[in-house]
Amino acid sequence: MISLIDLKAYLQENPNTSLAQLSIHYQEEAGFVEHMLQHFIRKGQLRTSTLTPKCGTKCTDCDPNSTTLFEWCA
């Protein structure tokens, strides 16, 4: 079971990570991890950014869990 303390420590060590990476690391559903991330977003300690696809196109085929990064900013 993932805790907010563990999640915070991981985010501080890996300041730019995707939801997919977090889901794999903690072996939890992406929705569950995202719900926990909202705690830090509300506190202003975490923000999201979206990666531009490396292929250079603007299609919507990429998985948003892989292209949305969570950046630790506290």
- Helices of type H across the chain: 4-13, 19-26, 30-42, 64-67
Residue 3 burial (CB < 10 Å; 0-12/13-18/19+)?
A: exposed
pLDDT of residue 26: 96
Rounded CA separation 29/15 (Å) = 20
Print the domain residue range for 31.
Answer: 4-72
Structural domains of the chain, count: 1
pLDDT of residue 56: 58
pLDDT tens, N- to C-terminus, the chain (74 residues):
899 999 999 999 998 888 889 999 999 999 999 999 999 999 999 998 866 555 556 666 666 666 678 999 87
CATH code of 26's domain: 1.10.10
pTM of the model: 0.78
Residue 60 burial (CB < 10 Å; 0-12/13-18/19+)?
A: exposed
